[in-house]
Structure 1
Amino acid sequence: MKDLVCELRHYTSLPWNYRRLKSLPPELVEEGTHVAQIFLKCNLLESLPDRIGNLTRLTYCYLSSNKLSSLPESVGELVSLQVLDVGNNKLKALPHSLGRLPALRSLVAAQNQLTCFPQELCNLKTLSILMLSGNHLSSLPEDFGNLKGLQGLYLDNNNLKELPRALTSLPILTRLSCCSNALLFLPALPFIRHPYIFFDNNPHLSYLSLTLVYQSDGWTISNLQTTGCFRNIEAESNRVTVYTGRSPRFSKQRGLILPLQIERVTLPSTGKVTLPSLKELCLRCVWKAVEPVKGNNYKEVSVKDQLGIKPESMPTVLHHNIKYGPVAYCNNSLCGEPIFSFTSIKVVPVFNTPKLESERRKVPMVLYFCCDVCSIQYSEHIHRNTDEFSLWMTDCLRKSMCVEVV
């Protein structure tokens, strides 16, 4: 321990990896305010000093492969910290105070026992790399959309059933890895950027949205990695069963799984047109009033400021959907209305990646429409056009599968 104290007093970088340390010298928080880097990988640490926040000049802190079960709240006082690596420990939670770190660029918390991601961490505007693989996460907050500086997000080997829609709005996201989860679907909204998306080994994932298919046309072969996906989804007798995400039977039968937010689905049929519910129409009306900006770069405008309505006075379901935005937008190019809980769908078999095309396999794809009228109009519209894309889509529609809504 004396040797450690001697190093502490003479150096700004402390190479204390592989020292089998069970605790840190108390002098660290008293005399270590000049320390800029500390390397503590592969030790036996079970806790950190409560006053570790005194190290206000610390920029790099590597604590991977220890026995840490928690981090002190004082880590939120490390105002110069840029890199924090706490991977391969026994952490069950991250301190909320991490959300106060103004300079944090990289947070590695992979291979722990995390069950939730603190919403406060979504305030980290400078965060570029976030590694959460190998935990027990079942959901992520929609406030992930606030992480505007995020470039790489790693979520492999968790229990995630869906990804936040807000991920699609991240302006510089270049890599998203969510392999080996329980994903039911990928976001139906288009990504602002074309990130590399890895989603192998999600056994319940049975379709790609039209927006991903659109974007994959302009991506390189490696942008969408689908090895191991869609292995068990086939059309039996040209018939596919469509389940909403709430159906408990989706894991026992083949079928397409729609986003959890979709509460009602219709299929357009000749002579019968189903219109959206009153709730759906209200959501669209309020959304357009709150979010006047067109395109993908939506401004963060509160319902209260725009409409003079207190959120607590609105029905909970309306406020929740307005806050998190639509599930998708109508695929009718003449419409483009947002879709929150009601959709009219068409299911078409397409080659959605070069890998599947090389194997001559087709995968069901869902096209979202805000109502039956738009679905019918879209079908008529593409028959009237002769450009290359319309011919391709027309051929897909002609081969459309019969769909039974469950």
Structure 2
Amino acid sequence: MEGPELLRLWVLAALALAVSPVTVPEHHVLPDLRLSAETGAIFVHELEREPFLEAFSGSEDDDAPVTFRAHLWQRPDLPRWLRLAQRGPGQPGFLYGCPLPPELGTHRLQVLAYNRRTFATASQRLDIGVTPAPGGEAPFQAEFLVGNRDVEELLPEAAREMFLEASAGLWERGDLHVINVTSALDRGGRVPLPIEGRKEGVYVQVGSHSPFSPCLLAAVSPQSRARCHRGQRPLASCYDTFAPHFSIRWCNLSLLQVVPSPRTPGPEWGPGVLEGGGDFEPPGDVAPRELLSPFLVTLLVPLAVAALLCLLLGHLMCCRREGVGPRGGPGSMARCPRSLQLFHHGSILGDTRELRLMAGRRDVPRPLSTLPMFNVRTGQRTDPMASARHGARAPLLPP
């Protein structure tokens, strides 16, 4: 009985699947968003979950897991200066990075949000306009390694303001700003053990137009480095300005003085093209250009040069033959008439025949090479002057 009942259950399941309508996940598009960023300063945009959850149809669950993905418009990757960080589906995401002068312009991105429960998706287009910083790049920069924080914990504006306040007590200056925030994992750091209180670590780069304070210079001195590697406190007297919120790894502190490069004159960056809206008006009709003269120059000049070269080559080959006199002149057999050439050849043949006959009638012994060869056993004689074909067949020695 188990077999037929199991078969009936399979048939009922197949019918249920065939009758039930197929639900396709819906896709929603959020309004476009325009953002601005400056070179030499941190750019952070928080991807909040609430607008995307409201866009999902029929999704009223605030605890729905949402995963963010971002890429350039019609391209697979993000710009090289921008990163996306999201700790988990239940937390917001962050787009952050520090644009450089080569990144000036408008960067169009597309953000995709996935609802892991309903498989619904929502997208939003971001236009990030990168403009040069009004005061230029900060010439004095310091990079701190915060060991008790993750990168998502320092990206919110409140955490960055708290870090700047602690840095102001160390730098003794008020014109500080965060240049960049980088996770220690992106710099070759190790993934921490899954133990409570263990953090990845964050590199925070701070810049200012004022020189470094004596405390910072003392913290990077060789004596302070030696004490740091031994596990002792640095020689700087202001090392505790970050406590108790931030734990600074003083062995990784680095100071950098940037020399501003001379700026070449170029177009000044404005608010952008059609930033305030409006229609694009193309330029009017352009006057037609006269292209006949350039065409003739391009075509006729190479032809004229080729013709001159052909004439020069023909003159050298036909009209400049050295040592060639008029036809029929003395000194060359090629210049003699044909009858005279035939007579010359005939006289040579006749003289050759006469010399051979005179050599045969001489009263001198014949050379051994012309005497017949004699076989002592058979008495056979072989003429050595016979042709090579007959001589090769006549045996000289008996077999």
TMscore range, shorter length: under 0.3
- TM-score between the two structures when normalised by the length of structure 2: 0.24
Larger RCO (alpha carbons 8 Å, 6+ apart): 2
